[in-house]
Amino acid sequence: MGFIDTARGILGEAHVLTGPDASGYGRDFMGKYVAAPLCVLRPGSTAEVSTLLAAANDSRTPIVPISGNTGLSGGTYAEGAAMLSLARMNQIRDIREDARIAIVEAGVVLSVLHEAVQAKGLNFPLTFGARGSAMIGGALSTNAGGSNVLRYGNARALCLGLEVVLASGEVVDLMSELHKDNSGYDLRDLMIGAEGTLGVITAAVLKLVPLPRAYATAMVAVPALGDALGLLNRLQEATGGMVEAFEFMPGSYIDAHLAHFPDARPPFDARHDINLMIEIGATAPRDTTPGPDGRVPLASHLEAVLEEELAAGRVLDAVIAQNQAQRAEMWARREATAEVSLARAPQINNDIAVPLDKVETFLERMRQILPTVDPGADDTCVAHLGDGNIHYIVYPSSDEAALQDRLMERVEDVVAELGGSFSAEHGIGLTKLPSMRRRKNAAALRAMQAIKAALDPNGIMNPGKTLP
């Protein structure tokens, strides 16, 4: 109880949760990892985080940072550890419209930031299904991706500066607003994606972009994934690189979605195996000002390309959203992925990336391999097709751990053969530790372990995660 008493002295009784008050924090989003944390700490400032970490380091108390707890890899599992919630550190300190930056604390919820900057005609383009609960600190700690990586990049590409508290309690001020800074090692990028194993992100300087004045959104069916990549390239050329989202949903996912949401409408009158959701965003008046017929030129650009592709047989069907309600329906179908996939168990959620022109090859090889490992297994996927990130879900015939590990290893085999990565945007956490052990370059692992030992010599920061 020594550390808990110390923490109460720092934060006050109300912000150190124990027993039943802390138990809800110990269950992750998927319900796969359930733990009994020692306590939950709710600091309200960087100074309090600093004092807490210094005390934890002295007492060798493990610290597990937690944001919205919407991760999928067990990164917040905290049996017997103190969980550090940044939820009270939720201030948007500044929005600088001319510089197009936002200075925020780590506990700011992603959707709250979206609303704040959109009111000023700007956008923070990181977006995904959990944006209503995910926090900036967690998104940076996992280097989150989402649906707009194609145009804007992932979380790392959208961050200029950080404030980080190390295990020792030292505060590293990296809150740069610069787009160019070559003054030594890039500690900012080291902390982004480290999943709280090197320190706690407490604040960030984020890049903003102009809010699109108009969107053109469509569901498109194509004969093959090769046709999809060709369509993406033609759309990028036709629009000057304005494609924001290019999402793939196979027929198996559409079937599962309709079964899970009986009131939902199918995307087309006929069933198709390869369904794409495409969105283009524009800011220029030439693309966004309605013409005499009331149509926005951006939608006309999209329609013209799709008509050419239909005539050439490279597109089978297409539906363009005519209003915001139809656009929202298309996005809801894609963003229901977690809910739809969780409705069936057991499952293995593989978050992988392969080169853009190898997505079809990966899926074809897995269709051949899967029955040889588990004849009773089934699979589906959704993909950020424009950046090669596939959320490949296997439903094994049993929850036997050895079987699931064999299946995951075969996925890794194919990914490695294609020059891909076994982890794209969900982080390593606990789930991907076997993959790290098997697949990560040994010299790279040793370098990571050396960095961990240097910055967290007592091993208190999110122990047991990311590094095998």
Q: Assess whether pLDDT exceeds 80 at residue 74.
A: yes
Measured between alpha carbons, how far is 233 from 241 in angstroms, rounded to an integer? 9
What is the C-alpha separation between 142 and 186, in angstroms, rounded? 17
Q: Kindly indicate the confidence band of residue 430, based on its pLDDT and cuts at 50, 70 and 90.
A: very high
How many CA atoms are closer than 13 Å to the CA of 167, on its beta-carbon side?
24
Mean pLDDT of 444-459: 98
Q: How far apart are CA 71 and CA 314, in angstroms?
A: 37
pTM given for the model: 0.95
Q: Is the pLDDT of residue 128 over 70?
A: yes
Average pLDDT for the chain: 96
- Mean pLDDT, range 420-443, rounded to an integer: 96
pLDDT in tens, 154-208: 999 999 999 999 999 999 999 999 999 999 999 999 999 999 999 999 999 999 9
pLDDT tens-digit profile of 252-293? 999 999 999 999 999 999 999 999 999 999 999 999 999 888
What residues contact residue 41 under an 8 Å CB cut-off, 6+ apart? 7, 11, 15, 16, 52, 82, 83, 84, 85
Domains in the chain and their CATH numbers? 2-85 (3.30.43.10), 92-210 (3.30.465.10), 214-337 (3.30.70.2190), 344-448 (3.30.70.2740)
Contact 100, 207 (CB under 8 A): yes
For residue 295, what pLDDT band results from cuts at 50, 70 and 90?
A: confident
Q: Which residue has the tokens 């094994």?
A: 396
Percentage with pLDDT > 90 across the chain: 94
Which pLDDT does position 343 carry in this prediction?
Answer: 87
Contact 52, 11 (CB under 8 A): yes
* pLDDT at residue number 1: 63
Q: Quick check: 81 pLDDT over 80?
A: yes
pLDDT tens, 3-43? 999 999 999 999 999 999 999 999 987 778 999 999 999 99
CA distance 137 to 195: 10
Give the pLDDT confidence of 350-386 residue by residue, as tens digits. Answer: 999 999 999 999 999 999 999 999 999 999 999 999 9
Banded model confidence at residue 467, pLDDT cuts 50, 70, 90:
very high
Give the residue among 266, 269, 247 at the shortest CA–CA distance from 257. 266
- Strand pairing of 82-85 and 39-41? parallel
**235-260 average pLDDT score:** 96
Q: Round to whole Å and give the CA distance between 16 and 39.
A: 7
